[in-house]
Amino acid sequence: MLAVVTIAHGRHDHLALQQAGLRRSHRPPDLHVVVAMDDGGLEQALEPVPWRRRVVHLARSGPHLPLARARNVGARTAITAGAGTLVFLDVDCVPSPTLLGAYDEAATDPVTSRDLLCGPVSYLPPPPPDGYDLATLDSLAEPHAARPAPPAGTVDRTRRGYELFWSLSFALGRGTWSEIGGFHEGYLGYGGEDTDFAKSAESLDLALTWVGAATAFHQHHPVSSPPVEHVEDVVRNATLFHARWGQWPMTGWLSAFEERGLVERRGDGTYRVVR
């Protein structure tokens, strides 16, 4: 049984396009778990689908969205329902028709069934006035320049580059999820939980496997680089990661914040937000 897990707060139009993409999947999901983070109106925005769907509501953790906890709740809900393959898709991601089948094949193949599976994520430009045409997304999207994008049919197993893991699109078997232990719920708000999850996989000697046919298309939305609106989250979560693993994550963002005078480095090497 294959379950898709999506966490969401707003962006109902993006979730609707993701649902449309799932309808075009060569291997439809058996279950879609949508975790609505502090979003009481999400359920009313969803149209009927031909597979089972479960919407789980999760309250906000103070001012922060509980991203790590939401993924854990979604996985637990799917596993309780009988899922053996878990596919995580960010609410902004539209799956290609081959994504679910490619992930499911890799998650059930004896060679790769214990691996942490990732697929290429390609970025879409702003939508035209009449919206995206799902049939032409592949011609519009540009692969992320800093992450692997192997061709369809390729499965690239590696034990390098764990820092390239991104929860926008990934999959794994139920046993691997249990072995990793899910996302560390000490990470609140933006940043760090993905890197920690991958670091846990690396510490267990799990291969990081890139599945070429598991392409997802990331819908356009405004972003800031560095994410200055999340500076407090990034510093807090980076400090937790350093305490757990003895190294600093998100160093590019931390350096950019420091250059802008938003954070400063103490004598012991830790960071503090400049207020």
Instruction: Write the pLDDT tens digit of every residue in 74-108.
Output: 999 999 999 999 999 999 999 999 999 999 999 99
Which of 275 and 240 is assigned the larger pLDDT?
Answer: 240
Which range (25-29, 81-85, 226-230, 235-239) has the least confidence?
A: 226-230
What pLDDT does 224 receive?
Answer: 74
What is the distance between the terminal CA atoms of the chain, rounded to a whole angstrom? 50
What pLDDT does 60 receive?
Answer: 86
Q: Around 110, how many Cα atoms within 13 Å sit in the side-chain half-sphere?
A: 0
What pLDDT does 173 receive?
Answer: 98
Mean pLDDT throughout 36-62?
92
- Element housing 264 (H / E): strand 263-265
Reply yes or no on whether the pLDDT at 248 is more than 80: yes
What pLDDT does 88 receive?
Answer: 98
Mean pLDDT throughout 179-190?
95
Reply yes or no on whether the pLDDT at 232 is more than 90: yes
Reply yes or no on whether the pLDDT at 223 is more than 90: no
Which of 140 and 185 is assigned the larger pLDDT?
Answer: 185
- Cis? peptide before 249, omega within 30° of 0: no
What pLDDT does 165 receive?
Answer: 95
What pLDDT does 62 receive?
Answer: 79
Most confident of 6-10, 45-49, 141-145: 6-10
What pLDDT does 251 receive?
Answer: 93
129 contact partners, CB below 8 Å, separation of at least 6: none
Instruction: Write the pLDDT tens digit of every residue in 105-163.
Output: 999 999 999 999 999 999 999 988 888 899 999 888 877 777 888 888 899 999 999 99
Using an 8 Å Cβ cutoff, are 58 and 73 in contact? yes
Mean pLDDT throughout 7-12?
95
Q: What is the pTM of this model?
A: 0.96
What pLDDT does 207 receive?
Answer: 98
What pLDDT does 44 receive?
Answer: 87
Give me the long-range contacts of 178-182 (CB less than 8 A, separation at least 24).
Answer: 179/114, 179/204, 179/206, 180/116, 180/204, 180/206, 182/68, 182/71, 182/72, 182/75
- Give CA angle at 69 (92, 61), nearest 5°: 95
Reply yes or no on whether the pLDDT at 61 is more than 80: no
What pLDDT does 177 receive?
Answer: 98
Number of helical H runs and strand E runs in the chain: 8, 14
Smallest CA-to-CA distance from 123 within 97, 90, 98 is with 90
Mean pLDDT throughout 260-266?
94
Question: What is the rounded distance in angstroms from the CA atom of residue 269 to the CA atom of residue 200?
Answer: 24
